[in-house]
Structure 1
């Protein structure tokens, strides 16, 4: 029953999130014995969850005995979470993710939250949950709660950040949806009345939007194709072959995309699909881009670009575009270690697949020469404000 419960919990992540963020349990030697590093870790960039699952068989006893079983196993799982957390703070560890790729995880660079998932066929009504002990905040959920969060948010990053935000368990086991919708209502009210002035330097670079962090209805429910495009792009990136991108770098890129605001994905998907399906003038090359600025200086800048034609010339132009946009960040922040990601989509004319996906990642200060800056700026100009460009590349 325990293994089946663990698989079900992992499948919820892989289905609604990405399997790249699911780390399989790792057994290590400890003295004369062995220890398991979690029933599975979720790591999405700079945030992660240490997950322990406790499952109950169908042979149930009285309500009082089942309540004692829940308390006993929740306490045991919480101690296991704390033990895994202490291990992750000691040194880096190699773990295999859901795609079978080996990653080096430095737990000291991740903001963790503990999660205990209780898979029980009949939770006693209003079963109270006490405050968990330990240095790492740990939340106790039912399996139904866990699946609810992933079905509602549909991104691993959003679920982990939600759990970090709430920090403690609900008063009674199984009441996570009630807490979620209370917070979603508060988020919606704040986003409607948000009047905090934006940094003038940021305002010059584009348009500022205010989104609620938690959607009231399941993410993308009304526009599944548009919302789901981000997931398809991530699947493309996950399947790109080549030695230029290490497994750790690939997962970092996916985490940066996964962390984009949930509410922005429908609009982004609509923009990209509209460009991919548009009829373009013969002989012209059309570009359309959308860039998400980093939430903090030095963070990931994520861009999506659609070009009507893929060729050696457009590939070179795409690289020049990204280098220019990354260099422009240096006007407002230190980019010595900053990274910018750009995903290029180009439509295909066969029935093999609807588009090709190209990924570029740049890092640091290129210190472009004046000649390069003049050349790149002449080609691309200043940042587009949600507009399209038509260029002829000789």
Structure 2
């Protein structure tokens, strides 16, 4: 059969075509056979890597529906360390597949070397795909489908956000001044958050993490949520800030101490009271979505008038939009 050049990513073949392959998949209903025609050459006007990704994209869109084939939106890739969310995603309902494309750009070598290369890049692709799944479970992302339409892809189990925070605390290195008993107290205080509220708080924290980076350079945006236990002795504060450094650490500690003082002054139960603050700060190196930091105080903090005045000036001033807080 004589074929004319075509931009299509498939071609019909004769059943006796020696260059075609037959894929055999064992299923509970018996073997499933599919004829696979030879691959067409990649586009010559672009590099092989991007060309192979584009070919895979168009093949998936041709044999399926372009509405179900997604790639990461351009603006979502800003930041030199941001993890790429797969070469492509295939999404349908509650199921999805991560597509990783690897292109070989040198002349073929002996079979043993080619097999070793395939095994090596397949292992790398699997690791990348797992990273994509992990990233989407942590935070949603905006994707573009085959029709260039944007859609938010949310693979999060928001209630697991609190679980991840607990794991961060459980596995973190302790400062020299802290003990395992201190760690246990922090974990216990965070675990007081009702199970029924964890999905809501998880969604809120993820929203905070998406929001706080959007400030001018040298500024730091803060967002908080607080909960006071019904007996008035345990206060939980969770929040997010634009970045984490020594200044942010000191400011967050001041915030937790001030809110603890205010509650104990109101309830009069100073000796029994404790306040736990958990701060999430976004990361941009692709290794994980955020860092988790904690501050826990209890009892009478014996803050001086100067300290109370400074903390209140920083955190209790009214902003232009009427909110109480600070953007430093």
Please give the TM-score of this superposition, normalised by the length of structure 2: 0.47
User: When you count helix as a share of all residues, which structure comes out higher?
Assistant: 1
Please give the TM-score of this superposition, normalised by the length of structure 1: 0.40
> In terms of Rg, which structure is larger?
2
